Amino acid sequence: MIQTTPVQVMDGADVRRAISRIAHEISERHHGAENLVLIGIHTRGVPIAEGIARAISEFEDVHVPVGELDVGFYRDDLDQRPTTRLGRTLLPVDVTNEIVVLVDDVLYTGRTIRAALDAISDLGRPAAVELAVLVDRGHRQLPIRADYVGKNLPTSLQERVTVRVEAMDQEQGVWIERPQP
Amino acid sequence: MADLDRAGIEELLDLADHFTEVLERDIPKVPALRGATVATLFFETSTRTRLSFEKAAKALSADVLNFNPSGSSLSKGESLKDTVLTVQAMGVDVMVVRHQAVGAPARVASWVDCPVINAGDGAHQHPTQALLDALTLRRRFGKLDGLRIAIVGDIRNSRVARSNIDAFTALGAGVTLVAPPTLLPLEVDSYPVATSTDLDSILGELDVLYLLRVQLERGSGPVLPSLPEYVARFGLDRRRFGLLDKDAVVMHPGPMNRGIEIATDVADDPRALITEQVGNGVAARMAVMFRLLSGRGQP
Amino acid sequence: MIAIHNARVLTPDGPLDTDLTLADGKVHNLAAGEATTHLDAGGALVGPGFVDLHCHLREPGFEWKEDIRSGARAAAAGGYTAVVAMPNTSPAIDSGHLARFVADRGREVGLVEVVPAGAITMGRAGNALAHLDELFQAGVRLFTDDGDGVADAGLLRHAMEYVAERGGVIAQHAEDPGLARGGHMHEGRISSRLGIRGLPSLAEEVMVARDLALAALTGVRYHVMHVSARGTVDLVANSKRSGLRVTAEVTPHHLSFDHSRVATMEPDFKMYPPLRTEADLAALSQALQEGTIDAVATDHAPHAPYECEVPFEEAPRGVIGLETAAAAVNTAVELAPMLFFERMSVTPALICGLSSQGRWIEEGSPANLVIFDPDISWVPETFLSKSQNSPFRGTKLRGKVLATLFQGRLTHQAWS
- C8-20 pLDDT, tens digit per residue, is 999 999 999 999 9
Best mutation site among B184, B187, B190, B195 for testing chain C: the one with the most C CBs within 10 Å?
B187
- pTM tops 0.80, yes or no: yes
User: Which domains, from first to last, does chain A contain?
Assistant: 3-74+85-180 (3.40.50.2020)
Indicate yes or no: CB of C192 within 8 angstroms of CB of B186.
Answer: yes
In which band, very low, low, confident or very high, does the pLDDT at A57 lie, cut at 50, 70 and 90? Answer: very high
- A131-178 pLDDT, tens digit per residue, is 999 999 999 999 999 999 999 999 999 899 999 998 889 999 999 988
CA of B27: which chain A residue's CA is closest?
Answer: A122
C-alpha distances out from residue C145 to C54, C93, C99, C320, Å: 12, 9, 14, 19
Does B69 lie in the same domain as B32?
yes
Within a domain: B149: yes
Residue C333, pLDDT > 90, answer yes
Domain count, chain B: 2
Please report all neighbours of C, defined by 3+ CB atom pairs within 8 A: B
In which band, very low, low, confident or very high, does the pLDDT at B299 lie, cut at 50, 70 and 90? Answer: low
CA of C194: which chain B residue's CA is closest?
Answer: B124
Does B246 lie in the same domain as B131?
yes
Cis preceding linkage at A47, omega within 30: no
Biggest CA pair distance of chain B: 60
Does B258 lie in the same domain as B238?
yes
Does B137 lie in the same domain as B236?
yes
Within a domain: B134: yes
Please report all neighbours of A, defined by 3+ CB atom pairs within 8 A: B
Q: Mean pLDDT, to the nearest integer, of B41-59?
A: 93
Residue B297, pLDDT > 90, answer no
Does B150 lie in the same domain as B52?
no
How much is the mean pLDDT over chain B? 91
- C74-110 pLDDT, tens digit per residue, is 999 999 999 999 999 999 999 999 999 999 999 999 9
- C342-359 pLDDT, tens digit per residue, is 999 999 999 999 999 999
Q: Mark whether A and C touch (3+ CB pairs within 8 Å).
A: no
Query: Highest-confidence range of A84-88, B162-166, C305-309, by mean pLDDT?
Result: B162-166
Question: C406 CA to chain B: closest CA distance, Å?
Answer: 41
Q: Which long-range contacts (CB under 8 A, 24 or more apart) does B109-114 make?
A: B111/B81, B111/B84, B111/B85, B111/C309, B112/B84, B112/B85, B112/B88, B113/B88, B114/B88
The pLDDT of residue B11 is 93
Within a domain: B65: yes
The pLDDT of residue C97 is 97
Q: Enumerate residues 191 to 220 of chain B having a beta carbon within 8 A of any beta carbon in chain C.
A: 191
Look at C208 and B26; give whichever has higher pLDDT: C208
Q: What residues make up the domain containing B142?
A: 127-275
State whether residue C314 sits within 8 Å of chain B by CB: yes
State whether residue B159 sits within 8 Å of chain C by CB: yes
- C238-269 pLDDT, tens digit per residue, is 999 999 999 999 999 999 999 999 998 899 99
The CATH H-level superfamily of C48-359+375-395 is Metal-dependent hydrolases (3.20.20.140)
Within a domain: B1: no
The pLDDT of residue A88 is 86
Does B251 lie in the same domain as B241?
yes
Does B154 lie in the same domain as B238?
yes
State how far Cα B104 lies from the chain centre: 17
State how far Cα C14 lies from the chain centre: 24
Q: Mean pLDDT, to the nearest integer, of C141-159?
A: 96
The pLDDT of residue A173 is 94
Among B153, B157, B149, which Cα is nearest to B176's? B149
Does B243 lie in the same domain as B131?
yes
CATH number of residue B19's parent domain: 3.40.50.1370
Identify which of B21, B60, B297 has the shortest CB distance to residue A79: B297
Q: Determine how β-strand A36-41 pairs with β-strand A99-107.
A: parallel
Residue A99, pLDDT > 70, answer yes
Please report all neighbours of B, defined by 3+ CB atom pairs within 8 A: A, C
CA of B154: which chain C residue's CA is closest?
Answer: C195
How much is the mean pLDDT over chain C? 96
Residue A4, pLDDT > 80, answer no
Lowest mean pLDDT among B1-5, B233-237, B267-271: B1-5
- C194-225 pLDDT, tens digit per residue, is 999 999 999 999 999 999 999 999 999 999 99
8 Å CB contact between C49 and C13:
no
Q: Mean pLDDT, to the nearest integer, of B69-90?
A: 78
Indicate yes or no: CB of A74 within 8 angstroms of CB of B33.
Answer: no
The pLDDT of residue C378 is 97
Catalytic annotation present for B49:
yes
Helix (H) or strand (E) holding B264: helix B264-267
The pLDDT of residue B220 is 47
Q: Mean pLDDT, to the nearest integer, of C134-146?
A: 96
CA of A83: which chain B residue's CA is closest?
Answer: B294
Residue B65, pLDDT > 60, answer yes
Does B136 lie in the same domain as B59?
no
Cis preceding linkage at A154, omega within 30: no
Within a domain: B267: yes
Does B156 lie in the same domain as B27?
no
Question: B165 CA to chain A: closest CA distance, Å?
Answer: 25
Residue C145, pLDDT > 90, answer yes
Q: Mean pLDDT, to the nearest integer, of B216-243?
A: 83
What dihedral angle (degrees, nearest 10) is formed by the CA atoms of A150, A152, A156, A160? Answer: -10
Does B136 lie in the same domain as B251?
yes
Identify which of A80, A85, A118 has the shortest CB distance to residue B31: A118
The pLDDT of residue B295 is 79
Strands (E), C35-167: 37-40, 45-48, 50-55, 80-85, 113-116, 142-143
Among C85, C90, C205, which Cα is nearest to C149's? C205
Does B153 lie in the same domain as B121?
no
8 Å CB contact between B228 and B250:
no
Helix (H) or strand (E) holding B16: helix B6-23
CA of B8: which chain A residue's CA is closest?
Answer: A84
Q: Mean pLDDT, to the nearest integer, of B118-122?
A: 95
State whether residue C64 sits within 8 Å of chain B by CB: no
Lowest mean pLDDT among A82-91, B231-240, C157-166, C227-236: A82-91
State whether residue B278 sits within 8 Å of chain C by CB: no
In which band, very low, low, confident or very high, does the pLDDT at A78 lie, cut at 50, 70 and 90? Answer: confident
Question: Considering only CB atoms, which chain B residues are within 8 Å of C196?
Answer: 102, 122-124
Indicate yes or no: CB of C188 within 8 angstroms of CB of B186.
Answer: yes
In which band, very low, low, confident or very high, does the pLDDT at B73 lie, cut at 50, 70 and 90? Answer: low
In which band, very low, low, confident or very high, does the pLDDT at C1 lie, cut at 50, 70 and 90? Answer: confident
Q: Which of these is catalytic: B6, B29, B48, B238?
A: B48
Question: B62 CA to chain A: closest CA distance, Å?
Answer: 12
State whether residue C198 sits within 8 Å of chain B by CB: yes
The pLDDT of residue B2 is 61
